[in-house]
Structure 1
Amino acid sequence: MELLMQGVTLMVIGMATVFAFLVLLILAMNGSAAFFSKFAHLFPEEQKAAPKAAQATDPVADIAVALAAIKAKRG
């Protein structure tokens, strides 16, 4: 019976440790969210260049390239 109680005690301590870690993690995440929302003006986002429009290619040319690649692979 004593071994069973030691197992239960160890389980409770382990679960309490995990629970405490998760609570600290949630508090840290909420704290960092509050920090970055308050000081967001100090961290400007990078302006990404507009993606270049893909050139319209002929579908027949794409098929020809694929067939050439297959032929080159097979020998």
Structure 2
Amino acid sequence: MELLMQGVTLMVIGMATVFAFLVLMIQAMNGSAAFFRKFAHLFPEAPAAAPKKATAAVDPSAEIAVALAAIRAKRG
């Protein structure tokens, strides 16, 4: 019975530790959000990335031909 009580005690301590860590993490996240909300004017937005150029559409039969050529080259 004593071993069972030690297990329950260890479980409660572990769960309390995890709960305390999660509470602290949430508080830290809320604090940092408030900080960045207050001082947002000091952190300029990053420029938007340039859109990528559209690549030419590849014919599916050409892809199949390339795959078959690679298989033939591999087999010899």
Same structural fold, with TM-score higher than 0.5 when normalized by the shorter chain: yes
Could you tell me which runs of 5 or more consecutive residues in structure 1 were left unpaired when the two chains were aligned: none
Relative to structure 1, the CA distance from residue 54 to residue 37 in structure 2 (aligned partners, 3 Å threshold; closer, same or farther) is farther
Distance 2:63 2:6 in 1: 70
Aligned to 2:29: 29
Distance 1:60 1:8 in 2: 65
CA deviations over 1:23-52 (Å, ceiling 9, x no partner): 001111122222233333414124211111
Distance 1:51 1:31 in 2: 37
Could you tell me which runs of 5 or more consecutive residues in structure 2 were left unpaired when the two chains were aligned: none
Distance 1:2 1:17 in 2: 23
Structure 2 length-normalised TM? 0.68
| CA RMSD, 1 decimal | 2.4
Within-5 A mapping of 1:1-75:
5-41=5-41, 42-75=43-76
Shift of 1:3: 5.5
The alignment of Structure 1 onto Structure 2 pairs a total of residues equal to 75
Shift of 1:55: 0.9
Relative to structure 1, the CA distance from residue 63 to residue 10 in structure 2 (aligned partners, 3 Å threshold; closer, same or farther) is closer
Identity %: 76
Relative to structure 1, the CA distance from residue 12 to residue 64 in structure 2 (aligned partners, 3 Å threshold; closer, same or farther) is closer
